[in-house]
Amino acid sequence: MNIIVIYSMDLWYVNHRVYIITLIYHEGQNMRSFPYMLIMLWLSTNMLYADHPYDKLESLTFNPIGSGARALGMGGAFIGIADDATAASWNPGRLIQLKTPELSIVADFSHWKENNTIHMNAPDEFSNSMSEQNLNFFSLTSPFEFMGRNMVISLNYQHLFAFKREQRLSYSKIEKNDSQYMVMQDGKLSALGLALCFQLYSNLSVGCTLNFWNDFLGTNGWEQTTREKGPVILSFSAPFLMDSAITHEYKFSGFNMNIGISWDVTDQFTCGFVLKTPFTADLEHTTIFTSFDPIYSQTSRKYSEKLDMPLSCGMGVAYRFSDNWTLSGDLYLTDWSNFILTDPNGDQYSFITGKKNSLSHVKPTYQVRFGSEYLLINKRLETIIPFRAGIFYDPMPSDGNPDDYYGFSLGSGISIGPYVFDIAYQFRFAVNVGEAKLKRFGFSQDVEEVRFYGSFIFHF
């Protein structure tokens, strides 16, 4: 029995969808199948060119990740303190504070929930939630002396971006039919870092972390799948079910640097500065189109693309009132307007909005963080029990003004001789954000995110 291909089409455009419709029939079928083929041809053209109301929900959702339980317990206000191995991520100029070799490992668990509302016609509400756990940070760090100067070297792993999300919607929220729409994404971006810090003067040091964003410890990238299914009703045909999915797989590789400066203004007051250089990453993009019903078929296509990662920089200050009590504050900027995808044709799109870069209006974000740490020190037992707290303003980029996110954190732990255990809890939330995704449909969402960190440090 021969299979004859009678129609095929593909298209690449702004939301990186590829629609490939292949219609087949078996030799010997009667001509009554021909209207069915015409229907499929009409549907494929409609899918290719329709203004889909959910397109903007397919733009990438990502979460920048901070390193370390101690830092996150202080609300991320760590640029001016950074006196453990996670300084390679926060401010490599502060690595000079490490006086003994150490091994550190940090794990994190996160759970978030999104309560969504569409205000078109009568208000409709629906929610999505997701959880995940990851290795957050790992390092081997050692101080040494070279040519009369104190130096520190560190080999580290940093989990920097998380992509896991799931959104389920129904056309009945906007239109009067029972079609279902689902977007799932998963993956991460991490870097293997080599950091070096050296002391210029007794109160001034500089450091640099070389970040290699490659598949050293598993796949460095993410996957996003959009699936749509529901009845199709045409005036010249009986209703039938359409069920199809489009999957985008991305493999990410690149290189950049974290450059940090530490200045001890006085014995109590310290300043820190960090610059994370922009860079252009290579993306290996595979698109897979799957039709489940009425005909099962699968077609894939590969692209080589470029992704410009944005510049970010920050400064932090810390004041130690005593050996027990420290206050800190950070201001951090990220220029998301330069978060740009370049497709195989050389066209550029904002990776925040999914639209052409010339039509997007993405502004930089400014994070503000404050933290405090109080230590209960028992010299006789050689133990330290810390109590930490922090608050922060952590906006997310959007088309137009950034979405406002706020949060607070708490942390504690115990240090016994060469062993240090830390834990942190962080709560981050937003109210009435995400409006730019489906602005004309009155879309908004409330977001709640809970994150737990646990770390272990051993001083050799």
218 burial type by CB count under 10 A (0-12 exposed, 13-18 middle, 19+ buried):
exposed
- Rounded CA separation 205/344 (Å): 43
Is the pTM of the predicted complex or chain greater than 0.85?
A: no
Given this model, what pLDDT does residue 340 score? Answer: 92
Given this model, what pLDDT does residue 122 score? Answer: 53
176 burial type by CB count under 10 A (0-12 exposed, 13-18 middle, 19+ buried):
exposed
Given this model, what pLDDT does residue 236 score? Answer: 55
One digit per residue, pLDDT tens: the chain, 460 residues? 333 333 333 333 333 333 333 333 334 444 444 554 555 544 444 443 333 433 434 455 666 778 899 999 999 999 999 989 999 999 999 999 999 999 999 999 999 888 887 776 555 677 778 888 889 999 999 999 988 889 999 999 999 888 887 776 665 544 445 667 778 888 889 999 999 999 999 899 999 999 999 887 777 999 988 888 777 665 555 666 778 888 889 999 999 999 999 999 999 999 999 999 999 999 999 988 888 777 778 888 898 999 999 999 999 999 999 999 999 999 999 999 999 999 888 999 988 888 888 888 999 999 999 999 999 998 888 899 999 999 999 999 988 899 999 999 999 999 998 999 999 999 999 998 877 766 666 778 889 999 999 999 999 8
Given this model, what pLDDT does residue 195 score? Answer: 97
Given this model, what pLDDT does residue 322 score? Answer: 93
- Rounded CA separation 12/8 (Å): 14
Output the CATH code of domain 3-459. 2.40.160.60
Answer for the pair 249, 223: CB distance below 8 angstroms, yes or no. Answer: yes
Given this model, what pLDDT does residue 434 score? Answer: 79
Q: What is the number of other CB atoms lying within 10 angstroms of the CB of residue 379?
A: 7
CA-atom Rg of the chain in angstroms: 26
Given this model, what pLDDT does residue 232 score? Answer: 64
Given this model, what pLDDT does residue 14 score? Answer: 32
Given this model, what pLDDT does residue 178 score? Answer: 62
Both tokens assigned to 440: 């004309």
Given this model, what pLDDT does residue 441 score? Answer: 67
Three-class secondary structure assignment of 354-404: CCEHHHCCECCEEEEEEEEEEEEEECCCCEEEEEEEEEEECCECCEECCEC
- Rounded CA separation 226/58 (Å): 8
Answer for the pair 94, 445: CB distance below 8 angstroms, yes or no. Answer: no
Q: Exposure string (b/e) for 193-208, b if CB count within 10 Å is 16 or more?
A: bebbbbbeeeeebbbb
